[in-house]
Chains A and B, each alone.
Chain A
């Protein structure tokens, strides 16, 4: 009797999960299909199809500028966030020390705070200290918000780390540095790389913090927002679909290699 129920449950759950994936990815399909419409006003089914918006997108100087700003910020922010996240994760998950419980909770706080309030608060501080907003200020605010996420991604990996492997290496006569280089780091690499990847992608896709703190260095999400709201612009779906696909590729391709490498 028990077996029968299990065999019935599996396909049902599979269908349920697949429909959730469909729900979550529906906007991607909508954006992609819409980018080929040649019509002046959006109406499905389309009268004419075109590839024009993609070509215009690559020729636009405004887009190129916004992409450059976003990529530069994301790259610059990724490095300190991953370093801080890695050593912070060691303190979070590996070492037992007084005050660790408080630290764990303190570190989580920025994720739980509305980004809008965080952005406005940092804007007030910049104003108070007479600092001009720019991509650097936006980058720092990205870092504050991402640090807990990156730390936790790496911490999850550290929790799964088998300490006896390190001890075995010590017993074989390895130095502390050798153990870190040969044992600890390679095992934690999956966590570190995914932490860095998340940092890059979260900075690249952030809108609310950038909107208030970017100053004159317009980021791509803010640029797209302007295209979406200032009347219907036919390049908006093409640009959005491209960004969506690029972000997905930037996440899936490294993960595919990572899981292959760790097997």
Chain B
């Protein structure tokens, strides 16, 4: 080491920015959540009424819907992305940067715009109903406004968030270990279960965490594609803040969401070595 170690100094600006513009606002939300309902100012008059409202007003049912949607989205994306990420990392490594760009680039287009594209495909008189119009009983079919379509929308929106970390994870799989397992007579399934998945687990965990947590706080997919068939939890939070003008209630609901999120992040990040995961691509040379 020739130079002195400036790590903390270099990290400091980011830490300060995140503290002032991320931690402080969230602490304010926590403060608001313990205020009297419908108050706009912070006072010493603390109350637990907002959290009692969470149970009394059955907000837990929309939380339940959000958890179910988030869980299904994560499972489907795991199954959908694994073969793709595997192919990118191990079978087509030369084309992997272009495949990655093609699959990840939609996150650089506002999700509303992309979901709008989907509604034109799925609505009555849209592209899909044109394609299915020759099937008896499917003339003028409408594919919007139901639970499976909301789920598809979420799978679509969060796809890149699973794919990219997973690809990094699969770069960590040691080809020699795979070959050794095959030489020892392991079946394809055994190789996957005993060698590949454990070695790629860091990327899989990060991808799953991202997808689960983001879809737990999602709102637009259900609004745009689902009409009002499902009201996700984030919609309740938004509603409490904007239409009800009940900031303390909205804050309390947000705090519940944040608490779940924090616990999940804490559990997953404990088991993930970020240095290895983010450095995995580099090892290829």
Contact surface of A with B, Cβ cutoff 8 Å: 2, 9-10, 13-14, 16-17, 20-21, 23-31, 33-34, 41-45, 84-85, 87-88, 90-93, 95-100, 103-118, 120-122, 124-125, 127-128, 140-141, 143-144, 147, 151-152, 155-156, 159-161, 167, 170, 176, 198, 201-202, 204-208, 221, 224-225, 228, 236-237, 240, 243-244, 247-248, 250-252, 255, 259
Contacts and interface: CB of A to CB of B under 8 A. Distances in A.
A251 B7 CA distance: 31
B44 interface: no
15 contacts: A13-B83, A14-B87, A84-B14, A88-B11, A96-B7, A103-B11, A112-B265, A114-B261, A117-B234, A124-B32, A143-B17, A152-B278, A170-B2, A221-B110, A251-B108
Interface of B: 2-3, 5-11, 13-15, 17-18, 21-22, 24-26, 28-29, 32, 40, 42, 80, 83-84, 86-88, 91-92, 97, 99, 101-103, 105-118, 120-121, 123, 125-127, 129-130, 156, 159, 168, 182, 209-210, 213-214, 216-220, 234, 237-238, 241, 247, 250-251, 254, 257-258, 261, 265, 269, 274-275, 278-279, 281-282
Contact of B219 (A9, A116, A140): A116
B126 A42 contact: yes
A241 B265 CA distance: 36
Contact of A116 (B111, B217, B261, B275): B217
Contacts of B213: 112-114
B278 A248 contact: no
Contacts of A16: 83-84, 87
Given A17-B92, A228-B112, 15 more contacts: A21-B99, A21-B103, A30-B127, A87-B10, A88-B14, A90-B10, A91-B9, A96-B5, A113-B261, A114-B214, A124-B32, A159-B275, A221-B110, A240-B117, A248-B108
A144 B18 contact: yes
B279 A160 contact: yes
Contacts of A84: 13-14, 17
Contacts, number: 271
B165 to A, nearest CB: 10
A125 B32 CA distance: 11
Contacts of B102: 21, 24-25
A124 B247 contact: yes
Given A87-B10, A207-B111, A28 B182 contact: no
B121 A10 contact: no
A17 B22 contact: no
Secondary structure of the A contact surface, majority rule: helix
B273 to A, nearest CB: 10
Contacts of A97: 5, 7-8, 11
Contacts of A106: 15, 18
B265 A124 contact: no
Contacts of B88: 17
Q: Please give me the 3 A-B residue pairs with the lowest Cβ-Cβ distance, nearest first.
A: A114-B217, A27-B117, A160-B282
A118 B10 CA distance: 25
Nearest to A5: B188
B116 A95 contact: no
A44 B126 contact: yes
Contact of B257 (A25, A117, A152): A117
A96 B1 CA distance: 11
B269 A105 contact: yes
